[in-house]
Structure 1
Amino acid sequence: MGAREDILQRIREANEGIEVLPVQRDYRRGSAPTSVAAGALVDLLEDRLVDYRATVVRCRPDALADSVRGLLAAASPVLRAPGVPQEWCPGAEPDHEGLGAQELDRYAAVLTAATVACAETGTIALDASPDQGRRAITLIPDLHVCVVRTDQVVASVPEMLSRLAGERPITFISGPSATSDIELDRVEGVHGPRTLCVVLVETDQT
């Protein structure tokens, strides 16, 4: 018996007779009955994102293209997720599977939408839908401009997870990519974009 088989056999023997208890699912899944108003949730999300050093711009739907253009004014070339409407940024090139890591690295910025955002944690979730694209495009370009509708903002993590499909690849974003060394010196752009800009598009629900 090889080392691998020996280890697996020991695990099987150790697990024999162990009762498998059901996973408890009675944790909080949504906001309390006295939940914060939708407008205050958006304010909280903005505060969290700014605290994480993201740039946040709020606009009405008819000003979305102008807001995106302002954030991308100094970036060229720009890539957009294939499902992002062209009118958001007419000069942006749509992503396609033929672009590998080296090709993606030549883009200064990427433009995507989002699936949901959690106000409590300042987290934006992308699920690889056409208007969000594959994960690589939000990790390689140095600037990520992400459009979030205010009706996509929820209060808690359980609410955020309830809007996500478990079979899809999920990317969670809380500010620009950052890490720190043992002396707690912050370094941005190590594992993803150095700069995150979020456009909060105000819908009638807020």
Structure 2
Amino acid sequence: MTSRDIILGRVRRALGTPGDPDPEASYEQAVDRSYLREHGTRTTEQTVDLLAGNLADYRAIVHRTDREELPLLLMRLLASSGARTVLVPPALPPGWLAAAHPVRVADRAGSTAADLDEADAVVTGCAVAIAETGTIVLDGGPDQGRRRITLVPDHHICVVRVPDQVVSSVPRALERLDPARPLTWISGPSATSDIELDRVEGVHGPRTLEVVLVTGAD
């Protein structure tokens, strides 16, 4: 059997053979689904620690706090970066920025990329955070807003509710996500490297990513 025969056989199984009453069954039977759902056994605390460590490895700045201290922490983060304006998703919990002083800018349908680029920072929630890969996933939910408001501003502060939004692995995350939604997978600040491995950050997204792991958040 040639490589061509193998590839065409897989295509036929995926599409279903002529007259097959249930093409989906043919495909499901041909695909091995025995992969691990997660690697190893961890407590909730160990899973959150793994997330924090992998986020840091990707050069995200990680903070830990609780619900009561969250507004003060966000105030300090925005102040330390010199942010004068902050983009706010439509349903960001109002208490999160209760202590912050920058002018809040709402994302509007008519906002252009140039308008969004004038904002110094954006604060959002997330859909889920993956410990094994150090990845934050956004799905355009009300506390996250449209994808572009997290890609254009230079500084993104993302709040992750612990432990509710933290999962161990990508398969566990996929169980929670709707593939029909606009998913953005973020592992550290935007970066690229040239042939000499000179790293440049902020090329196609935020130059600075700060992740706040907050316990007891609404």
TM-score of the superposed pair, with normalisation by structure 1: 0.85
Give the secondary-structure state (helix, strand or coil) at the position aligned to 1:162.
helix
Give the secondary-structure state (helix, strand or coil) at the position aligned to 1:43.
helix
Does structure 1 residue 31 correspond to structure 2 residue 38?
yes
Question: 2:86 maps to which residue?
Answer: 78
Question: 2:195 maps to which residue?
Answer: 182
Relative to structure 1, is the Cα distance of residues 29 and 150 closer, same or farther in structure 2, using a 3 angstrom cutoff? farther
Aligned partners of 1:62, 1:136: CA distance in 2, in Å? 30
Aligned partners of 1:88, 1:72: CA distance in 2, in Å? 12
Question: 2:210 maps to which residue?
Answer: 197
Alignment map for 1:56-205 (pairs within 5 Å): 56-73=62-79, 74-90=82-98, 91-151=103-163, 152-203=165-216
Aligned partners of 1:39, 1:165: CA distance in 2, in Å? 27
Give the secondary-structure state (helix, strand or coil) at the position aligned to 1:117.
strand
Aligned partners of 1:144, 1:25: CA distance in 2, in Å? 39
Count of residues paired in the alignment: 189
Coordinate RMSD, CA, aligned: 2.1
User: Deviations 1:14-72 (Å, cap 9, x if unpaired)?
Assistant: x79x622414251436336x620011111111111111111111011111111111111
User: Deviations 1:161-189 (Å, cap 9, x if unpaired)?
Assistant: 11110100000011100000011110000
* Amino-acid identity (%): 51
Contact 2:105 / 2:119 at 8 angstroms: preserved in 1? Answer: no
Question: 1:40 maps to which residue?
Answer: 46
Give the secondary-structure state (helix, strand or coil) at the position aligned to 1:19.
helix
Contact 2:139 / 2:183 at 8 angstroms: preserved in 1? Answer: yes
Give the secondary-structure state (helix, strand or coil) at the position aligned to 1:49.
helix
User: Deviations 1:85-130 (Å, cap 9, x if unpaired)?
Assistant: 2321244222221211010010010010001010000000000011
Consecutive unaligned residues of structure 1, counting only runs of 5 or more, are: 1-14
Give the secondary-structure state (helix, strand or coil) at the position aligned to 1:67.
helix
Residue 81 of structure 1, CA deviation: 1.1
Code of the aligned partner of 1:75: A
User: Deviations 1:116-164 (Å, cap 9, x if unpaired)?
Assistant: 0100000000000110111100000000000001121111110011111
Code of the aligned partner of 1:191: H
